[in-house]
Each structure stands twice: as structure tokens, then as C-alpha cells.
Amino acid sequence: MRAVSLTFPTVLSGFVAVLVGYASSAAIIWQAAAAAGATPTQIAGWMTALGMGMGISTLLLSWWYKAPVLTAWSTPGAALLATSLQGVTLAETIGIFIFANALILLCGVTGLFARLMKIIPHSLAAAMLAGVLLRFGLQAFSNMDGHLVLCGSMLLAWLAAKAVAPRYAIVATLLVGAAVAGLNGDVVTEKLTLTLVMPQFIAPSFTLTTLISIGIPFFLVTMASQNAPGFATLKASGYPVAVSPLIIATGGLALLLAPLGVYSICIAAITAAICQSPDAHPDPDKRWLAAAAAGVFYLLAGVFGGSITGVMAALPLSWIQTLAGLALLGTISGSLYQALHNERERDAAIVTFLLTASGVTLGGIGSAFWGLVAGGVCYLVLLRPRRA
């Protein structure tokens, strides 16, 4: 039966993907909302709407395409908003959300973004993915400096389980890490409460100055630093899903929910890689179930959107980062192999990998975009003479 494929490691991959997504950037979203003048209740409502939007889109798209299509908010976009919304009214902020998501929807309808994604070589897409994920893999080991007992025990648990039961390696890592963190008193639950906060409708206001100075950069950052890596991740993992329909679906849903505080719904990259890895399911055709599980956890996170900050504060950051790094090791190694195994494309791929991993930001656009640009230039310059 098909339901038998929904094993515990598959469900756990979905849970870890959502956990990593919220842990890595929920605080940035709160900062962005606070900069716009939103009250704590309104911010909690934004988190509810975001969780529901990502949950619905992830569930429907993964089921429809039978591929691990995970959606997410735009972390680079949230970082840009957090530094740009000072002095902007809440109504003008909602106007920026509507304007940027309308531009994203237009990219999907016209097919412009799809044509761009088709010309990216597979080796460069894999190199970019490896570069994006590198810092997460490094955190699996760098946290041992200062958290040796917790991170060391998680690493040993992962290694032991990988040797005898590879599919349950992350399960063992999670359980051992949770037990050690609990025994050390690193899990703080005193202020942890589960509350339901409904999102509030906020009427938008549009001003030309904010749309040009914030809306357009926000649109560019979201497309270049979130959606482009997301589609490259799908491509590198062996899921060449049609680009334009996904952009239309995610951009349209974000546009519809923007008055409730949904600033973006994009194609996930880093967290999606967890659901697209062999640890999620040995059969690539069944890994969509991990993304579907993530959709359910998104919905649960949305229902208790007001409690997300408390949950994140209760868990040790080193535990979350080590778990994410170990969960992504298989994807990192697979991406590096795909990027570098073709000798003719190796130079261009290593430029893409290193520039992406550098984390440099130029013109407000993240390193993933510039890694692809630099790698693409090397690809054209170096391969053309060789072919001649």
C-alpha cells in the first residue's frame, strides 16, 4: 500500500525541515514586522498566516506534482525589510507586500523566470546548492567548540546509526541530542505557552517612494536569493518541476494573503534539501511524502503562530544547528559530486561553489545569485574555446 511509504524517517525529515526553517529566520521576521510598527499581537497573526500559507501550498504542490516541493518565506527578503521599514507605516508595508508579490506573479505568468532557469547548467545549479548548504554542514562540527558534550554525543549517535541503520541516523541524532540537552538543563520551558492568534486584515497604502525604494529591491532579492536557489535545488536533486506554474501558485497565494501579513511565499532551498535527500526516503519518487509531512507541520506551526518564538527560545541553538547540519550531509556530498564530476565544467562549478559559500552580498542581493552569475561567465568563457 502507498501509505506504508510514510515511515518515521520520512515524517521526521518534514519536521526537521520546518524546525530549521523557523529556527533560522523566525526572529528576523519578527524584527521586520516590529520595524514596520506592528504590535506583538499583529506579529503573531502574521506568523499564523505565514504558517497556514506555507502549509497549504506545500501540501497541494507536493501532492499535485508528486515531488518534494517545499515552500518557505523569503529569509533574505525579511532581512532586507528589517533594515528598510523604519519610518514606514504598517499600511505602506502591506502595500509593499502586494506590489512585490504582484511582480512575482507577473514573472510567472509571462514565463520570464522559467526561461532564465532553463539556461542554468546542471553542474552550476548543484555547485550553488552545495555552496548554500556548506555553512549548515560546518555548523554540525563548529558547535562542538563550547558544546562538546551535546554536539559530540549527537555526532557519535549519527555515526553509530549510520553504520547499522542509515535510514534512522537522524532519528537517533535527534533523540540523543534531546536527551542530553534535557539532562544538561539546556531546554527552557518555563515561558512556553501554546496560544492561537488570528491574523488581522490591514488595509494597504501605496506610495511611489516606498514601492520604488523598498518594493523593487525586495522583489529582486526574493527572486534572486530565494526562488532561484529553490528551483536550482529541485533541479539538482532530480526534480525538474515546471517553473512558471510554481511561481504563479506561490506568488498568487502570497498576493492573496498579503493583507494578513504574508510578505512572501517562495520555493524553499535549504529546508527543501532535507526533504529531497535519501535520508527522507530511499525512493526518490516517494520523497514528496516528506514535503507533505512538512506541510502538516507548517499548518500546526501556523495554528500556534503566537508561540513560535517561545518554542525557538526553548530549544538550544547548537542542538538545532547540529541536527540540521547532519541532516544535510548527504545532500551536500551529492551536490558536490554532481558539480565536480564533469572535468570540463569543474572550474566554472568551483567558482560558483566558492562564491556562493562566501556569503557576500552585493547590491543587496545574496551570494547564491552572484555565484550563478560568476559561474555562468566562467562556463561561457572556458567551455567555448574547448569546444572549438
Condensed to tens digits (0 to 9), the pLDDT of residues 357-388 reads: 888 878 766 677 788 889 999 999 988 665 55
Condensed to tens digits (0 to 9), the pLDDT of residues 56-87 reads: 999 999 999 999 999 999 877 887 787 788 88
Q: Which residue has the higher pLDDT, 220 or 123?
A: 123
Please tell me the distance from the alpha carbon of residue 173 to that of residue 379, in angstroms, as a whole number.
Answer: 40
The torsion of the CA quartet 285, 287, 289, 291, rounded to 10 degrees, works out to -130
Are 354 and 131 in contact, with CB atoms under 8 Å apart? yes
Please tell me the distance from the alpha carbon of residue 333 to that of residue 240, in angstroms, as a whole number.
Answer: 20
Given this model, what pLDDT does residue 202 score? 93
Condensed to tens digits (0 to 9), the pLDDT of residues 155-202 reads: 999 999 889 877 678 778 888 988 898 888 877 666 566 667 788 999
Question: Does pTM top 0.75 for this prediction?
Answer: no
Q: Model confidence at 2, in pLDDT bands (50, 70, 90)?
A: very low
pLDDT(307) > 90: no
331: nearest Cα among 380, 375, 386, 272: 272
Output 148-155 pairs: Cβ under 8 A, ≥24 positions apart: 149/180, 149/184, 150/177, 150/180, 150/181, 150/184, 150/186, 150/316, 150/318, 150/319, 150/322, 151/318, 151/322, 153/177, 153/180, 154/180, 154/319, 154/322, 154/323, 154/326, 155/322, 155/326
146: its cell numbers: 563550547
**Three-point CA angle 260, 363, 80, nearest 5°:** 25
Given this model, what pLDDT does residue 35 score? 84
pLDDT(296) > 90: yes
Q: Model confidence at 5, in pLDDT bands (50, 70, 90)?
A: low
Cα dihedral sign, 136-132-96-21: negative
| CA 376 to each of CA 87, 121, 270, 329: distance values in angstroms, whole numbers, following the listed order | 39, 8, 22, 26
Condensed to tens digits (0 to 9), the pLDDT of residues 223-279 reads: 877 888 888 889 888 898 888 999 999 999 999 999 999 999 999 987 888 899 888
Given this model, what pLDDT does residue 136 score? 78
**Residue 362: strand pairing partners:** 365
- Mean pLDDT across the chain: 85
Within the chain, residue ranges assigned H as helices are 8-35, 40-65, 75-84, 90-110, 112-118, 122-142, 148-164, 169-183, 208-210, 216-222, 228-236, 243-257, 270-275, 288-303, 308-314, 317-327, 329-340, 346-358, 367-387
340: its cell numbers: 565536480
Give the 3-state secondary structure of residue 300: helix
